[in-house]
Amino acid sequence: MKDNKLYGGSFIDVWRKHLDIKARRQSLSKEEKALRELISAKHHLQSKLDALRWIPVSERLPKIKRDKHNEASKKVWLIFQNKPRIGYYTNFTGWIVDGIRFHKRMNQQDITHWMEIPTLPEPDDGKT
């Protein structure tokens, strides 16, 4: 019995190619899913590491939280004139440190690094 010729090869050859391509796609989608999970884990770990290190303002500024009344970052620790302080960053005025505004174009060089303030630990209720 002769094989039917279809698309330059026998039907069986074409079917095998189809199955091979399908298996490759399934394998790739598994690899893509694993890669996406790794990238997600990397971003999660990076955010945890960022919470534990001083970030230069030249690298990036704190994330701005937008609500109906304000557009500012959460309060952060920052280095201002080589001393640790608490302040926050706004898109409109720039840094606000100890209640003092530092316009974006003035005195920004005095603030060199910032760090998220870590969350307080849960109180220990004595149960172990």
> Has residue 122 been placed in a domain?
no
> Has residue 121 been placed in a domain?
no
Residue 96 contacts residue 88 (beta carbons within 8 Å): yes
Residue 88 contacts residue 97 (beta carbons within 8 Å): no
Using DSSP bridges, classify how beta strands 71-72 and 65-66 pair: parallel, antiparallel or unpaired.
Answer: antiparallel
Percent of the chain whose pLDDT exceeds 90: 4
**Helices and strands in the chain: count of H runs, count of E runs:** 1, 10
Instruction: Show the domain range for 17.
Output: 5-49
pLDDT in tens, 24-39: 777 777 778 888 889 9
- Same domain for 93 and 68, yes or no, is yes
Residue 77 contacts residue 118 (beta carbons within 8 Å): no
Per-range mean pLDDT, top range of 12-16, 65-69, 111-115, 123-127? 111-115
- Same domain for 44 and 66, yes or no, is no
Q: What is the pLDDT of residue 1?
A: 44
Alpha-carbon distances of 10 from 7, 24, 112, rounded to whole Å? 8, 21, 70
Residue 62 contacts residue 70 (beta carbons within 8 Å): no
- Same domain for 33 and 63, yes or no, is no
Query: Tokens 């003092």 identify what position?
Result: 100
- Same domain for 45 and 58, yes or no, is no
